[in-house]
Amino acid sequence: MAAIEIVVPDGQGGVRLDRFLAGALDTISRSAIQKLIASGRVQVDGELRRASYTLSAGEFVTAEISEAPVEATAQGAPLLSVLYEDSALIVIDKPAGLVVHQAAGQRGLTLVDALLAHRPSLADAGMDPLRPGIVHRLDRDTSGVIVVAGTASALSVLQREFRRRQVRKEYLALVHGTPSPARAAIEAPIGRDPANRVRMAVVPEGRYARTEYEVVERYKTAALLSIRLLTGRTHQIRVHMKAIGHPVVGDRVYGPTRDALEAPRQMLHSCRLSFEHPVSGLEMTFEAPVPPDMAQLIRRLQGS
């Protein structure tokens, strides 16, 4: 189950809840939306409302929808877990282990391959044939929400939002130890590691980077953090957490050589992404549930 949150704009105050959602989520029929409301899967500012409820500007409408697995038609292309899709964009819950696009030294199928198999017209979304529609990326072993533009014009708008830091990016991370203070911001420039050009590091000549974190749960040897990225540097969370002495659990590059928790991959999940729709201008938020491998490790830590 995934959640979509939409802020009611000034011009749509006074509109019925079902009509508002039918206009905002143009790939879901009004009858399906009414069923969502009737089943208690739609809330307005955290409260259940009827389909006929009259909205006010500034209210938050949250709808829980089932992730739709879409089978790609290209041979061997991975399944896509689509959180939302319309002509302008596709929002995916990316699984860990899947590379977003082709790069030097990378082999095998990618998220782009699956997207092109699902929607061939995506090939025209942008000038780079290796990265059509790609607005931002997640590391291979990072799971969670990623937005892909469906057209060249949508790509341009979304890229501008990211450049201007108008996009809210939130993650969950399991880290070794417990950071102190429990809530803080890390501001440290990131660039290529002079000792290993494959890795990134905090270096004086690097690019400005800011990461905000808050401890959600403490365990004996680890902690669960809620993290907000204010910038989008390569490996930013992983590098910043290493820099303060609390690397991400399971991180084979920036973590300890021997990981006592035996995590199957780096425990980093893009849980929430907020941005303005490139066509309608509506402020939309998408959430992806914690994946099974991360949830299992959290349960193990809670019981230890």
pLDDT by residue, tens only, the chain of 304 residues: 567 899 999 888 999 999 999 888 877 788 888 988 999 989 999 999 999 999 999 999 998 877 666 655 555 556 788 899 999 999 999 999 999 987 655 567 889 988 998 889 998 888 788 889 999 999 999 999 999 999 999 999 999 999 999 999 999 999 999 999 999 999 999 999 998 888 999 999 999 999 999 999 999 999 999 999 999 999 999 999 999 999 999 999 999 988 889 899 999 999 999 999 999 999 999 999 999 999 999 999 998 7
Q: Taking CA 143 as the corner, what is the angle to CA 138 and CA 149, rounded to the nearest 5 degrees?
A: 50
Give pLDDT tens digits for 239-265. 999 999 999 999 999 999 888 898 999
CA distance 299 to 291: 12
> Two tokens at 260?
């006592």
Q: Does the annotation count 139 as an active-site position?
A: yes
Which listed CATH number (1.10.10.1590, 3.40.50.720, 3.40.50.1240, 3.10.290.10) goes with 2-65?
Answer: 3.10.290.10
| Same fold flag, 68-164 and 169-269 | yes
Q: Which of 18, 113, 139, 251 is catalytic?
A: 139
40-77, pLDDT tens digit by residue? 989 999 999 999 999 999 999 998 877 666 655 555 55
CB contact at 8 A, 228 and 212: yes
Tell which CATH classification among 3.10.20.600, 3.30.2350.10, 3.40.462.40, 3.40.1280.10 matches the domain 68-164.
3.30.2350.10
Q: What is the 8-class DSSP label of residue 16?
A: B
CATH topology of domain 169-269: Pseudouridine synthase (3.30.2350)
Residues 6+ apart with CB under 8 A from 107: none
Domain ranges of the chain: 2-65, 68-164, 169-269
